[in-house]
Structure 1
Amino acid sequence: MGADPRRNGRRGALRVSALLGCGSVLVAGCASMPDSGDIHAVKASPRADSQVRVYAVPPRKGATPDEVVTGFLEAMTSDDANFATARTYLMPETSRNWRPEAGTTVLSAAPDAGQASTGGADSPGLDYPLLGKQIATVDTQHAYQPVTPTDYRQTIHLTQQNGPDGKQWRIDNLPPGLVLGASDFQRNYRSVNKYYFASGRNILVADPVYMRQRLDPVTRMDPVTQSVKALLDGPTNWLKPVVESPFPTGTTLNKGTEALAFDDRNALKVPLNEKASNVDRQQCVKMAAQILFTLKDLTSTRVEQVELQRANGSQLCVLNSGQAEGYAPDHVSGRPVNQYFVDDKHRLALLAGGAKDISEPENVPGPFGNGQLPMSMVGVARDERTAAAVSKDNSRLYVSFITGPSKLGDAVVKSTGKSTGNRLSAPSWDGRGDLWVADRDPERPALWRLEDGAGKPQKVEIIPGLDGARIEALKVSADGVRIALLLTKDRKTTLKIGRVQRPGPKGNPVVSVAELRPAAPQMETVTAVSWAGPSRLVVVGKESGGVQQVRYMQTDGSSSDVSVLPGLNRVKAVAAWDDETRPLVAYSEDDGIVRLPAGANWQTLVKAGSAPVYPG
């Protein structure tokens, strides 16, 4: 996004880009500033670049209304403490009432001030329309909420005030919070996963939010302290119904704590207020695990230990990173995980997960691997002992052991759809061991769940309804509290994330999927999806008028330019593992089964095959 030609030469915020030569640290920056080179004013960074810094400057004496509006919009993108310089563009009372922390409106490009018009009789001064294309909001809980790109139009009002230098134009009315273009938002903020426990279970669930990359202008907290504070504030509203936190209500950082520092052993001490002083060790350990997981991907070095402290400074408990792994959503961390696919003879085959080089596939034991059940799609349980396979005509779903000889039992789900495309979807296993599948029959559509992959299928209600959309495909998260759904309506397939709710008796819960929200709003149509981490998805789709892409998306619907993966043609299926270091696997109609190791390009695994999956 280039600078508005009408603004050339106007004085605004200074945007400085410098190579960071200091060691790898959490807060971007060095101990000294560059002492040479040019500094110049620009409207906005052309891309998200965390090495670009914006230094706001106050309005000059006699600044024109255009300069006041432009300077204020650019000052909003800075890290200035409490946005002090941005406030110099406001009337004193307006400055006192302005709350930048009230939320952020994210536009596709930097906001543009249109032509000014004269205010009415009741509002003398100048009105500037603030224009753009809104793509998201970030609320007071730091939760990112995408919206269908919508025209944004708000008003900034200016009047003149008397001062020692005579009359000066200043802003006396403006939209609430911050208004940022996407590139400035990505430069200033980063996605962070807070972690809470799935209701009634010792499994942690990721709750993605956005934190400032550097010191927060309002609280002056660094990203580590910001993230711990946000964790203590509780889960976001969307996730709150299905998670819980062992932190006692009212727990905060101890009074006066503005920074949390690591020692030379990468251990972090977290002082808490009196609300947490009397928790028992078991509860304290779970609290520490939440902090360890929250900080795991935030720092440049691994967090090895967290020590929680009482308000008086005494130790509550200590937990190291190895002990915390017991609360991970998937308990298979550290062991090889196999990649599975349907071979050219419609049998289930696997590629050894521990092999560094491409290995020869082998068929699994039992009816899924010996040809007894010709299949089209498969889902492998996370323990890799059991699998669920859809028959070649998509009409029946079977469950069988794949670790040794076994007999093919009766179908556990049947569909009577009139064509293969209107029958069963690919199955998916959650981290609880439950099996999920959708019946795509237009006359009898349904989402089914089989507890522990057995017994009578239970129909899952979707609240509110799908409004005529059909479930094309599904993938359930490892923690079992979120589900990704591909929904087809009017010949377009979109991706949405739903919350899996399980109210009712523990042994007989009433399972439903609630509050679907878009997870790839910028894509016109989506072909395939897979979970690729605690809050990340790998998505195959295309934007309006664009070509097919394989890219990473956050479950909150956010992404960045760097998320687009190397090109691959005619992709029909994709699979990823919760451990983000494992290679992606995909099925391309041109190239067969392929994989994408970290830092490499796509490699062909098997020329003839389809429906690749990781366990899950």
Structure 2
Amino acid sequence: MGADRRRHTRRRTAHGAALLGSAALLAGCASMPDSGDVSGVKASRQGDSQVRVYPVPPRESAEPAEIVEGFLEAMTGDDPDFATARKYLTKQAARTWKPEERTTVLSAAPVPQQSGSTRREHGVPDAPPTLLYRLSGQKVATVDDRHAYQPLGSLPYRETIQLVQQRSADGKQKEWRIDDLPQGLLLSESDFQRNYRSVNKYYFASGRNWVVADPVYIRKRQDPVTRMDSLTQTVKALLEGPTNWLKPAVDTRFPNGTELKKDTTVLATDDQNTLKVPLNDRANNVDREQCRKMAAQVLFTAGDLASTRVEQVELQRPDGRPLCVLREDQKSDFMADPTPGLRETPYFVDADGKLAQLLPGAKETVEPRHVYGPFGEGAAKVETVAVARDEKRAAAVSENGRSLRVASIQSDTDLPDPLVTSRGAEPANRLSAPSWDGRNDLWVADRDPAEPKLLLLHGGTGKPLTVTTPWLDEDVRIEELRLSEDGVRIAMRLTEDGKTTLQIGRVERQTAGDRQKVSVVDLQAVAPRMESVASVSWAGPSRLVVLGKQAGGVQQVRYIQTDGSESAAVIPGLNQVKAVAAANDERAPLVAAADDGVVRLQSGVNWQPMVDKGTSPVYPG
């Protein structure tokens, strides 16, 4: 916001804030033309911005417009408790203003405009004169008091700030101060990106022993209100519990009321890379197994902070005695997929409808290997496919979208009977591409307009269960679905009224006796500023890789967080893309299907052609 506003007024340089450090780098995305040969450009990596804003207090006899602009500028600063910003407020307003309550993010700095002339309250002749200033802009997101980011597309923002004229501290003159204002912080996107960073907190999937990522935003540097560094802020946010959207599907292993030991503002690793976390007495009586799970939540959470190397976590009592210790090599005990090593072997469907695997290698082209079993032999012409996460079986849709079968890809077997058959009259109105979650359950959508439904096959076998989907009717079509490894979230491309959007749904499971009810509820728009979305894949615990187009723009491949915020990582441009796929391990290369076949993007290089003809690239899941 600071940089934005300075473009509108030169006075801001003198009276608003001082800037120190290098210029902030904003995340960008390479564009993809709709025609032309496959080509790429080099990627760049973005480091944390080093720009810091040090606001200055109001000068004597400052004009009302200077007070408003100075206060907006001071909200972008780093001073403790926003002390400088409060100097622009009356004493009462300074006491009641709560910057930590929420953050409103605008596309650009708000534009203040005086609304009306100086006035006095009716019937109060000695009342001080007041002024109203309108604040306007385009609201793109909010962050609530639980640090949860909520994208809004682009909505009009209109609020007012009221100023009152009062005696200065020495009583010699009158000064304008703000006495009524919206709660929380108001920042432009550039200032938000400069001040905040996305981190993952981790909780346990309900009824399971594996963790689920819960993305939130915390201050990059010391938080002005709590005085905590970024690591301590993140652990504090973890202890406060999951965000409201994820809460119904996850559990925390910390006892109610567990907090950091009083006055803890800095957490740091020692020379053994051990993070020691002092807790209050609410955690004193936990048993060893519960303590290990508590430590796992901290270990996964701290591990997502790139600037922090944590090899083990030690939870402590208030007096410093250890509760338990968990090492990094024990993290696999709490993962949905505990398989060691990097999986970097994507699958694809070749020109003959056979399922093949792209073996890893440094060469630009590799000889694909067909899988074993009926899908690799051509007994059924594969159209779309999903490979189980243990890579022992695959689920394939064939017969113009009519049939779904599951078969081994490790041994030669006969073609099995279909597990799901669609009655849709047209291929486009039949089965979607399937997807496996970390519970080894298989998901597929039947897009028959007469009876659209989302189906779940427990263990990839047996009779399909119809998932409860209160949002799905004849006017909503599931184009694509992808389950997260933890099985708690589902990413979907949905078409309604001719527009295809990207939505994240929460998966909830309820068991009554031997019957289970599974629901996908509380859909959240992930890319509201995208005009259309053509492909999506999970690319980490809380990150998606998306092929889409913004209004008035060209098609792009970009990373988007599951909370709807944009990732800073940049993907090189690529032409003629039809689909993209990524692994849950962010170190694995991206793969994409283009007009010229299947291509791969490895770290530090451009897109490389792999096979001339191929479709439906997928990683396990």
* Superposition TM-score, scaled by structure 1 size: 0.92
Measured after TM superposition, the shift of residue 329 of structure 1 is 3.0
Number of the residue aligned with 1:33 = none
Q: How far apart, CA to CA, are the structure 1 residues paired with 2:319 and 2:619?
A: 48
Number of the residue aligned with 2:95 = 96
Number of the residue aligned with 2:16 = 13
CA contact (8 A) 1:553 1:563 kept: no
Number of the residue aligned with 1:615 = 620
Number of the residue aligned with 1:511 = 518
Number of the residue aligned with 2:114 = 115
Number of the residue aligned with 2:539 = 532
Number of the residue aligned with 1:272 = 279
Classify 1:356/1:266 alpha carbon distance in 2 versus 1 (closer, same or farther; 3 Å): farther
Measured after TM superposition, the shift of residue 485 of structure 1 is 0.8
Are residues 1:594 and 2:599 paired? yes
Number of the residue aligned with 2:28 = none
Measured after TM superposition, the shift of residue 74 of structure 1 is 0.5
Measured after TM superposition, the shift of residue 508 of structure 1 is 3.0
Deviations 1:259-279 (A, max 9, x none): 112111111110111110111
Tell me the secondary structure at the aligned position of residue 309 of structure 2.
coil
Number of the residue aligned with 2:156 = 151
Letter in structure 1 aligned against 2:229: D
Tell me the secondary structure at the aligned position of residue 502 of structure 2.
strand
Q: How far apart, CA to CA, are the structure 2 residues paired with 1:353 and 1:430?
A: 24
Deviations 1:448-487 (A, max 9, x none): 1000000001111124446822111100000000000100
Measured after TM superposition, the shift of residue 444 of structure 1 is 1.6
Gaps of 5+ in 1: 21-46
Are residues 1:297 and 2:304 paired? yes
Q: How many residues align?
A: 588
Classify 1:94/1:468 alpha carbon distance in 2 versus 1 (closer, same or farther; 3 Å): same
The residue correspondences of 1:339-358 to structure 2 (distance < 5 A) are 339-353=346-360, 358=365
Number of the residue aligned with 2:226 = 219
CA contact (8 A) 1:272 1:308 kept: yes
Number of the residue aligned with 2:255 = 248
Q: How far apart, CA to CA, are the structure 1 residues paired with 2:190 and 2:50?
A: 13
Q: How far apart, CA to CA, are the structure 1 residues paired with 2:466 and 2:7?
A: 59
CA contact (8 A) 1:346 1:392 kept: no
Measured after TM superposition, the shift of residue 220 of structure 1 is 0.2
Measured after TM superposition, the shift of residue 414 of structure 1 is 0.9
Tell me the secondary structure at the aligned position of residue 469 of structure 2.
strand
Q: How far apart, CA to CA, are the structure 2 residues paired with 1:87 and 1:101?
A: 14
CA contact (8 A) 1:438 1:445 kept: yes
Number of the residue aligned with 1:31 = none
Deviations 1:481-522 (A, max 9, x none): 000010001221100000000012375320000100011111
Which residue of 432, 439, 442 corresponds with 1:432? 439
Tell me the secondary structure at the aligned position of residue 375 of structure 1.
coil
The residue correspondences of 1:131-210 to structure 2 (distance < 5 A) are 131-163=136-168, 164=170, 165-210=172-217
Q: How far apart, CA to CA, are the structure 2 residues paired with 1:459 and 1:12?
A: 62
CA contact (8 A) 1:13 1:54 kept: no
Number of the residue aligned with 2:34 = none
CA contact (8 A) 1:48 1:186 kept: no
CA contact (8 A) 2:536 2:544 kept: yes
Gaps of 5+ in 2: 24-45, 123-128
Number of the residue aligned with 1:41 = none
Classify 1:573/1:114 alpha carbon distance in 2 versus 1 (closer, same or farther; 3 Å): same
Measured after TM superposition, the shift of residue 338 of structure 1 is 2.1
Q: How far apart, CA to CA, are the structure 1 residues paired with 2:52 and 2:470?
A: 44
Are residues 1:408 and 2:411 paired? no
Q: How far apart, CA to CA, are the structure 2 residues paired with 1:416 and 1:474?
A: 20
RMSD: 1.8
Deviations 1:265-303 (A, max 9, x none): 111110111110111110000000000100112142421
Moved more, 385-394 or 462-471: 462-471
Number of the residue aligned with 2:574 = 568
CA contact (8 A) 1:15 1:52 kept: no
Number of the residue aligned with 2:39 = none
Q: How far apart, CA to CA, are the structure 1 residues paired with 2:77 and 2:6?
A: 19
Measured after TM superposition, the shift of residue 50 of structure 1 is 1.6
Q: Which has the higher contact order (CA 8 A, sep 6+)?
A: 2
Number of the residue aligned with 2:609 = 604
CA contact (8 A) 1:528 1:574 kept: yes
Measured after TM superposition, the shift of residue 355 of structure 1 is 6.6
Number of the residue aligned with 2:134 = 129
Tell me the secondary structure at the aligned position of residue 275 of structure 1.
helix
Letter in structure 2 aligned against 1:612: P
Measured after TM superposition, the shift of residue 147 of structure 1 is 1.1
Measured after TM superposition, the shift of residue 118 of structure 1 is 2.5
Q: How far apart, CA to CA, are the structure 2 residues paired with 1:581 and 1:110?
A: 37
Measured after TM superposition, the shift of residue 435 of structure 1 is 0.3
Measured after TM superposition, the shift of residue 114 of structure 1 is 2.0
